[in-house]
Structure 1
C-alpha cells in the first residue's frame, strides 16, 4: 500500500526518531533501543543493567514484557490504516523460558493478524549474545477510530 494509506508517513518510521520519542517514557527509562521499525514489525533491545533485575537478582519479567509490548506497539502504530486514530492493547500473554543476568536482550515483533478492528502481534525475545530464547509474547491491539460527531 502507498504511504498515504497509513496513519504514519514513511518518514516517521525512523528508529532514531522512535528512540527520541521514547526518552521521557518507560521504554526510555528502561534503556530500550529501537533498531528497526516498519509496517512488517520492529526490532530492538536493551543492555541488562541492575534496574532490569528483580530483588531476587534475576532479570525482572516486566523488563522483557516492556520490551516486547513496546516493540509490538510501535509496529502496530506503523501499520495502522490512515482511517485509524490509534490503538490500545486489549490482551497480552507472555511465556518465559530462561533468564539472563548480563549482556543484551533482543526482541523481534512480527504481525500475526492485521485486521480492520484488531491486530495480533508476536515478539520473540532472546539473549542477543547467546541466541537463547528468553520469552515469547503475544498481544492483541484494538484499532481505534475517530469519534463521529
Structure 2
C-alpha cells in the first residue's frame, strides 16, 4: 500500500462531487473520510423502493459503489488520473422500507492497475447488515 497515497479531501468536497449526478439525485451523503475509508448515508425515500415496497437492490448497490468509487479516487497511485469499475458483486441479506441506510467502504487491495474494495451496507437504526458488496476498479493512466 505504500505506493498508493491517500489524497486529502473533505466530506464537503465529496458531497459536492455527486451533485447533479446519480449519487446526488439519490440523496447520498458522504458522512466521513477517515483512515482510507469512506462512509455514507442515504435516507430511504419512496423512489429508492421497488414496486414491491422493498428497498430496490439498485439503490443499495449505488450507495456501496459510490462509497467504493470515491475511496478509490482518494487512493489513485502516482501518475494515475482516473478509474472505472470493472466488476461488482452484491449479496443482499435484508432490506429497509424507511429510515436510512449507511455504508462503509474499506480497501481489500490497492494495486497499481487494480483496486478491490469491500463495503457493508447497514440499516442505520438497527445496525443490521443489508448487503455485503465488493468491487474491482481498473486504474487509468493518461495515454
TM-score > 0.5 by shorter chain: yes
CA-based RMSD of the aligned residues comes to: 1.7
Shift of 1:81: 1.6
Match of 2:122 among 111, 115, 126: 126
Structure 1 residue ranges, 4+ long, deviating more than 2 angstroms after superposition: none
**Structure 2: distance between partners of 1:142 and 1:37:** 22
String of CA shifts for 1:35-93, please: whole Å, max 9, x gaps. Answer: 11256120001110101001111100000000000000000000112310110111000
Q: Which runs of 5+ in 1 are unaligned?
A: none
Q: Who is 1:65 aligned against?
A: 61
Q: Which runs of 5+ in 2 are unaligned?
A: none
Contact 1:39 1:78 in 2 (8 A): no
Contact 2:116 2:136 in 1 (8 A): yes
Secondary structure at 1:81 match in 2: coil
**Structure 1: distance between partners of 2:62 and 2:7:** 25
Bigger Rg, which one: 1
Number of equivalent positions: 142
Tell me if 1:88 matches 2:80.
no
Task: Please give the TM-score of this superposition, normalised by the length of structure 2.
Answer: 0.94
Contact 2:87 2:137 in 1 (8 A): yes
- Describe the shift of the 1:77–1:114 C-alpha distance in structure 2 as closer, same or farther (beyond 3 A): same
